[in-house]
C-alpha cells in the first residue's frame, strides 16, 4: 500500500481509483511547518501550485528516505526546486499533457474579450452604464496571431485560431517544427513586428527574465494585443502597463501574474485588460485528465 499526500487536493475520481487499488490518499492541505512534520509518513507528495517544495522540505524528505516522488499536478514546476530534488534522489514529475486544451480555450476566450470589450461591458452595465458607442471592437478573423513558443498549448491555440480565420505565425527556440505547414515559422523579432495579437506559451526562466519588456513592445505594431496565460514574469507587468497607458498596446489578457494573488491593481483595473486568477487548467475535464495522469505516473513509478 502506498501513502499519497495530495496536499493541494486531487480529483475525486483519481482518489477513488487509487483507494480501490488499496492505496491511502490524504487530500488535506498542510502548511509548510506541518508538512515538514508529516512528509516522511508518505511515499508520494502531489502538489498543484499552492504548495512550494523548496530545498528545506526536500532535505527532510531526503533524510527520511521514504518520500521519493513529487508530482506537480499541472505543467509548470517552478514551485518545486526540481534540480535540487533530483540531486537528492527524489524524482519530480508533472502532468504536461492534460491541460493544453483548457489553456488554449481560455487563451481564445481572452482574445475575444480584449477585442470586443466583453469584460468591461459586464462591469459597466452592472453599474447602470450603456456604453454602446465606446465599445467598437475588432474581429479576430484576418488578423495575424504570433505565438511565442510552439509546444503543446501553443499548437492547440494555433488550431483554434486557424479555424477562426486568423493567420498564425510562431517563433520557437527549437526552430521550425515539422508537419505544421499551415502556420509560418518566423524569428522572434519578426513575430513582434508582424503580429496583431501576441500570445506567449513558454516557461518563465528567472535567469532570462521577461520575454516581453519595453524593448520588445517598442518593436510591435501600434494597437497590438498581448495575451499571457503562460507564467507570471514572461511579460513584464510594468512595461505592459506603460504601453497600455500610452495606447501602444490596445488590449492585454492576463491569467498569470508576477505575484499571485496579484497586488497590481492598476493593471487589473485597466479598462483594456481582461484578467483571470490563474485558471488556465481549471476545468472539470482538465482536472479529471490530470488526476488520471497523476495516478498513472504514481503506479508506473512504483511498479
Task: Kindly list the distances between the CA atom of residue 212 and the CA atoms of 72, 76, 117, 189, 238, in Å, as whole numbers in the listed order.
Answer: 27, 19, 24, 11, 11
* x-marked contacts with ligand NAD along 45-84 as a string, rule CB under 6 A: -----------------------------xxx--------
Q: Is 211 in the site for ligand NAD (CB under 6 A)?
A: yes
Q: Round to whole Å and give the CA distance between 300 and 291.
A: 14
Question: In this structure, what DSSP letter does residue 221 have?
Answer: P
Q: How far is the CB of 206 from ligand NAD (least distance, A)?
A: 13
Q: Round to whole Å and give the CA distance between 233 and 213.
A: 10
**Coil, strand or helix: which one is 142?**
coil
Cell 476566450: give the residue. Answer: 109
> Which one among 202, 240, 243, 253 touches ligand NAD, defined by CB under 6 A?
202
* x-marked contacts with ligand NAD along 221-260 as a string, rule CB under 6 A: --------xxx-----------------------xx----
Stretch near ligand NAD under the rule CB under 6 A, chosen from 61-69, 172-180, 239-247, 292-300: 172-180
Closest residue (Cβ) to ligand NAD?
A: 151
Annotated catalytic sites, by residue? 231, 260, 278
Q: How far is the CB of 120 from ligand NAD (least distance, A)?
A: 22
- Based on CB atoms, which residue is closest to ligand NAD, 19 or 259? 259
Site for ligand NAD in 261-300 (CB under 6 A): 278, 280-281
Q: Is 152 in the site for ligand NAD (CB under 6 A)?
A: yes
Task: Kindly list the distances between the CA atom of residue 48 and the CA atoms of 70, 192, 279, in Å, as whole numbers in the listed order.
Answer: 11, 33, 12
Q: Can you list the alpha helix ranges (DSSP code H) found in 77-220?
A: 82-87, 100-116, 118-126, 152-163, 188-194, 214-219
Q: How far is the CB of 175 from ligand NAD (least distance, A)?
A: 9
* Terminal Cα-to-Cα distance of the chain (whole angstroms): 12
Q: How far is the CB of 220 from ligand NAD (least distance, A)?
A: 16
Indicate the pairing of strand 184-185 with strand 69-72: unpaired
Residues that bind ligand NAD (CB under 6 A): 74-76, 96, 99-100, 103, 148-154, 171-174, 201-203, 211, 229-231, 255-256, 278, 280-281
Amino acid at each position: 500500500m502506498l501513502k499519497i499526500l495530495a496536499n493541494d487536493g486531487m480529483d475525486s475520481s483519481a482518489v477513488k481509483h487509487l483507494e480501490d487499488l488499496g492505496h491511502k490518499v490524504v487530500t488535506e492541505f498542510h502548511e509548510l511547518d506541518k508538512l515538514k512534520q508529516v512528509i516522511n509518513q508518505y511515499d508520494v507528495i502531489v502538489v498543484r501550485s499552492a504548495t512550494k517544495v523548496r530545498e528545506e522540505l526536500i532535505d527532510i524528505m531526503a533524510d527520511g528516505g521514504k518520500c521519493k516522488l513529487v508530482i506537480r499536478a499541472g505543467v509548470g514546476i517552478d514551485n518545486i526546486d526540481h534540480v535540487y530534488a533530483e540531486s537528492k534522489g527524489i524524482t519530480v514529475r508533472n502532468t504536461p499533457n492534460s491541460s493544453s486544451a483548457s489553456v488554449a480555450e481560455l487563451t481564445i476566450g481572452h482574445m475575444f474579450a480584449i477585442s470586443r470589450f466583453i469584460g468591461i461591458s459586464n462591469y459597466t452595465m452592472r453599474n447602470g452604464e450603456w456604453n454602446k458607442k465606446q465599445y467598437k471592437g475588432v474581429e479576430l478573423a484576418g488578423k495575424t496571431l504570433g505565438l511565442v513558443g510552439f509546444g503543446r498549448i501553443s499548437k492547440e491555440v494555433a488550431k483554434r485560431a486557424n479555424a477562426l480565420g486568423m493567420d498564425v505565425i510562431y517563433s520557437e527556440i527549437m526552430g521550425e517544427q515539422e508537419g505544421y505547414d499551415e502556420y509560418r515559422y518566423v524569428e522572434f523579432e519578426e513575430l513582434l513586428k508582424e503580429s496583431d495579437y501576441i500570445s506567449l506559451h513558454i516557461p518563465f526562466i528567472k535567469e532570462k527574465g521577461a520575454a516581453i519588456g519595453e524593448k520588445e513592445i517598442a518593436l510591435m505594431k501600434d494597437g497590438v494585443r498581448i495575451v499571457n496565460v503562460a507564467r507570471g514574469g514572461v511579460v513584464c507587468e510594468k512595461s505592459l502597463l506603460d504601453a497600455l497607458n500610452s495606447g501602444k498596446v490596445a488590449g492585454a489578457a492576463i491569467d498569470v501574474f508576477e505575484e499571485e494573488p496579484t497586488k497590481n491593481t492598476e493593471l487589473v483595473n485597466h479598462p483594456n485588460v481582461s484578467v483571470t486568477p490563474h485558471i488556465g487548467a481549471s476545468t472539470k475535464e482538465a482536472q479529471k485528465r490530470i488526476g488520471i495522469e497523476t495516478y498513472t505516473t504514481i503506479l508506473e513509478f512504483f511498479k
